[in-house]
Amino acid sequence: MRTQNATAYRFLTPYLLVFAVFWIWPIVSSFLISFQATRTVPWRFAPTFNWGRLIGDPAFYNALKNTLLILVIQVPVMISLAIVMAVLLNSPLLKARGLYRFAFFAPVVVGEVAYSAVFRLMFSLDFGIVNKLLESVGLAKIDWFSNVTPAMALIMIAVTWRWAGYNAILILAGLQSIPEDVYEAATLDRVSKLKQFLYITLPLLKPVIVFCAVLSIIGTMQLFTEPFLITERGGPGGGTETLGLLLYRQGFRSLNFGYASAVAYTMAGLAIAITLVQLWLTREPK
């Protein structure tokens, strides 16, 4: 086949230009910046300046710990919930399917700021509807913002509410691509519904579930808006500060670009590791 270099690059150039300037170059640049001392003018090359500080910085370990804690609890809970939602929404027995779909998928269109504001109000100590409802059934109200554990729980609840339906959409698409006759054969062989789910549905869904998990992990790893707005700049006292918030605070409050780039590349390192694990989990069997 004859090559069509000129035509092809005419179509590609505008995109490649933007891609190179605003994505590829910054990826390289931020790596280089992480090795520079950026609080002196001009910046100077100082390979251990930021990375050395990072390794000894309690604020970094605090943010890393909080981020990983949210990851380890929130992502599995949300993915399980999304699987349940998708499987039940796919059930032929369900009536008024559209209403249920709307309920679970609607948060997908809600912006971070809008829902952060609502959650902040709903969970406020004295006038929040959640504490009022807890008290009305005889439970003690919870101080969601002044104690670390409830504050972390609140962040996880909020993120799960926002993203479970998104993952359910992906999983539902995966479910609907499983051919019907697989189940018909199993039903003829009197395999119970539960066993069909465990031994047919889940294995066939594995690539989609792993994909959702990777997307969610990378998303949650960069968590910023929720601890910024809901728990007020990572409060109480840094108790919900994430890596994303640390990057913001260092880069854009203290204008310490070098250190913030080191934090960013730590996140990238984690993301690359997680992507490699995904590729390994979904590799083609030999």
Partner 1 sequence: MTSRSQARLGRSVLLHLFLTPLALVWLFPLWMMVVFSTMPDNGIFSPGIELLPHDNFLDNVANLQRDTNFIGAIGISVAVAVTYTVLSVLLTSMAGWALARYEFHGKGAVVAIIFGTITLPYAVVLIPQFIMVARDFALANTWIALIVPPLFNSLGVLFMRQAFSMMPAELFDAARVEGVKEWRIFLFVALPLARPMLAALAIILFLASWNNYLWPLLINSQPGAMTAPVALGTLIGLTKVSWGGIMAGAVMLTVPMLIVFVLLQRHFIAGIAAGAVK
Enumerate residues 203-222 that contact partner 1 by CB under 8 A.
Answer: 208, 211-212, 214-215, 218, 221-222
- Half-sphere exposure at residue 108, Cβ-oriented, CA atoms within 13 angstroms: 14
- 60 lines the binding site for partner 1 (CB under 8 A): no
- Amino acid letter for position 123: F
Among 66, 74, 116, 240, binds partner 1 (CB under 8 A): 116
Q: Of 45-53, 59-67, 140-148, 160-168, which segment contacts partner 1 by CB under 8 A?
A: 160-168
Among 129, 139, 185, 198, binds partner 1 (CB under 8 A): 129
**Spatial separation of the C-alpha atoms in residues 280 and 199, rounded to whole Å:** 21
Are the CB atoms for 245 and 233 separated by under 8 Å?
A: yes
- 117 lines the binding site for partner 1 (CB under 8 A): yes
Binding mask 253-272 for partner 1 (x = CB under 8 A): ----x--xx-xxx-xx--xx
What are the φ and ψ backbone dihedral angles of 100, each rounded to 5 degrees?
-65, -40
- 182 lines the binding site for partner 1 (CB under 8 A): no
Total residues binding partner 1 (CB under 8 A): 101
- Cβ 220 to partner 1, closest distance in Å? 11
**Spatial separation of the C-alpha atoms in residues 157 and 171, rounded to whole Å:** 20
Restricting to residues 66-105, which ones interact with partner 1 according to CB under 8 A? 85, 88, 91, 93-95, 99-105
Residue 264, judged by CB atoms within 10 A of its CB (0-12, 13-18, 19+), counts as buried
Among 45, 56, 58, 127, binds partner 1 (CB under 8 A): 127
Among 58, 136, 181, 285, binds partner 1 (CB under 8 A): 136
- Cβ 52 to partner 1, closest distance in Å? 19
- 33 lines the binding site for partner 1 (CB under 8 A): yes
Q: Of 59-67, 107-115, 147-155, 194-202, which segment contacts partner 1 by CB under 8 A?
A: 107-115
- DSSP-assigned letters across all residues of 26-54: HHHHHHHHTTEE-SSSS-EE-TTHHHHHH
11 or 61: whose CB is closer to partner 1? 11
Among 133, 182, 202, 281, binds partner 1 (CB under 8 A): 133
**Spatial separation of the C-alpha atoms in residues 243 and 257, rounded to whole Å:** 15
**Spatial separation of the C-alpha atoms in residues 231 and 120, rounded to whole Å:** 8
Residue partners of 152: CB distance under 8 A and separation at least 6: 66, 69, 70, 239, 240
**Spatial separation of the C-alpha atoms in residues 267 and 275, rounded to whole Å:** 12
Q: Which residue, chain included where needed, has tokens 């465990």?
A: 198
117 or 139: whose CB is closer to partner 1? 117
- 11 lines the binding site for partner 1 (CB under 8 A): yes
Among 46, 59, 77, 122, binds partner 1 (CB under 8 A): 122
Report which of 258, 247, 265, 248 is spatially closest to residue 42, judged by C-alpha positions: 258
- Cβ 58 to partner 1, closest distance in Å? 21
- Cβ 266 to partner 1, closest distance in Å? 10
